[in-house]
Amino acid sequence: MSYRPPKSAPGDRSHLEQLVQTLSVERGIAADRLRRWVSTMVLLGAHERVGDDGHRFLLKGGVTIELRPRLRARATGDVDIIVVCDGEADVVEVLQDALEEPYLDFAFRVTNARAIRNTPAQRMDVKLTFKQRPWAAVQLEASLSEAGSAEPELIGAISLTELGCLAPMRSLALVALPDRDQAARRDRALRGPRERPGA
């Protein structure tokens, strides 16, 4: 029998887990991969809702690779974003503010924030709960935007409507850095900080 999406949001975590398992069999996608999609799209959706003039969040890294062609191969295990803010801001505080309110019955808690060596980025864990029950932990890497970055582009999110997660996820568009800009950032990070003349 073919999978029938629920007409309303999952009633609790067990219901959502059951839907993920059933849909994974129907679509031929590993359940842990589908579960990761849910966690990633919810986390990004929570950031997207506060993308106003004060700050925005730009997606980069392996998640954008996975979203563009909807690859079956796993492209990444974490989420990388750029935080666009006015003036000097604390990346962790900006993210905590963005995730303060629940989104689609998911709540968030940022933990274990630490600096990434030789880069301006911060790595942290975001723990997700669904209707007050533990759901998943996502590793998030974030850094402030740099001058001269290329204009971002919009890419479509993976829809979660088949799991009963309704609007606004259906119309979510993620703001992503172009591939060429991501490559430049990666090269700079690998080279590390430049030595000043005469140092």
Sequential pLDDT tens for the chain (199 residues): 577 778 888 999 999 999 999 999 988 888 998 898 899 889 888 887 766 554 477 787 777 777 765 554 555 568 888 887 766 778 888 889 889 999 989 999 999 999 988 887 889 999 999 999 999 999 999 888 765 555 677 777 788 888 887 555 433 445 665 555 444 544 444 454 444 444 4
Residue 133: the pLDDT is 95
Instruction: Measure CA 169 to chain center.
Output: 13
Residue 14: the pLDDT is 94
Residue 173: the pLDDT is 47
Residue 160: the pLDDT is 84
Measured at the CA of 153, the angle between CA 71 and CA 176, to 5 degrees, comes to 60
CA neighbor of 20 nearest in space, from 42, 2, 37: 37
Q: What is the DSSP string of 97-158?
A: HHTSS-BTTEEEEEEEEEEPTTSS-EEEEEEEEETTEEEEEEEEEEEE--TTPPPPEEEEPP
- pTM of the predicted protein model: 0.77
Domains, in order of start, for the chain: 13-183 (3.30.460)
CB 125 within 8 A of CB 61: no
| Sheet hosting strand 122-130, strand order edge to edge | 106-115, 122-130, 133-144, 79-85, 55-60, 173-176, 153-156
Calpha distance 138→17 (Å, rounded): 17
